[in-house]
Amino acid sequence: MRPPYDFILHAGPTELKRLDGFVHRTFNGVDLRHFIRGLRHVYAQHGGLEEAFLEDGELGDMASAISRFKSRFFEPRHQSRTQKHVADPMKGSNAKRINMYLRWMVRPDDRGVDLGLWKHITPAQLMVPLDVHTGRVGRELGLLKRTQDDWKAVEELTAALRAFDPKDPVKYDIALFALGVEAGRK
């Protein structure tokens, strides 16, 4: 079995064909094959995952950066259905999974949660991974007024968290999430 990075860069048609039977909810083998081709393309044409978010070495605003990544990821030919698996804040999505991934890759690894592998994006530029739990607690604490859990809510909640720590507003994400999950159990 190949290490994942090696598989993404070098898997041939026979190896990719073995993925055809893969299914997880609405994500299937066709989607998985494109994700591998999309990642391969991002590494070959854009310098890697972190660089695929950047334009001329700069992030800009996070909504545009995520949309840029999605556009680059889907440059290779693919079935249109596969695009639903990558969120786009420019279309209003809260992009929770991408924001969570960015958090893991960017925030320092000093607390045993995040990896801190990327160096061009700073913790100050991150946006909160908004879900039902963080949204509910954010509203209960008066940090979020917006009732929809969309990109505008991500911007609003992140701005409120920046008032506490402008250099690392997303560090509060786990606390908000945990409070929301715990409250949901009662």
Contacts 24+ apart (CB under 8 A), 59-67: 59/120, 59/121, 59/125, 62/89, 62/99, 62/102, 62/125, 62/126, 62/127, 63/89, 63/90, 63/151, 64/90, 66/90, 66/95, 66/98, 66/99
pLDDT of residue 185: 58
Structure tokens at 46: 């854009």
Query: Given a cut of 90, is residue 177 above it in pLDDT?
Result: no
Mean pLDDT for 129-149 is 95
Handedness of CA 146, 147, 152, 156 (dihedral sign): positive
Give pLDDT tens digits for 71-123.
Answer: 999 999 999 999 999 999 999 999 999 999 999 999 998 878 899 999 999 99
Q: Where are the domains of the chain?
A: 1-86, 93-186
For 28, phi and psi rounded to 5 degrees?
A: -125, -175
H or E segment at 24? strand 23-24
Mean pLDDT for 21-29 is 94
Residues belonging to the chain:
186
How far apart (Å, rounded) are the C-alpha atoms in residues 99 and 146? 19
How far apart (Å, rounded) are the C-alpha atoms in residues 97 and 21? 24
How far apart (Å, rounded) are the C-alpha atoms in residues 172 and 165? 9
Give pLDDT tens digits for 67-82.
Answer: 999 999 999 999 999 9
Q: Across-strand partners of 24?
A: 27
Handedness of CA 139, 145, 150, 156 (dihedral sign): negative
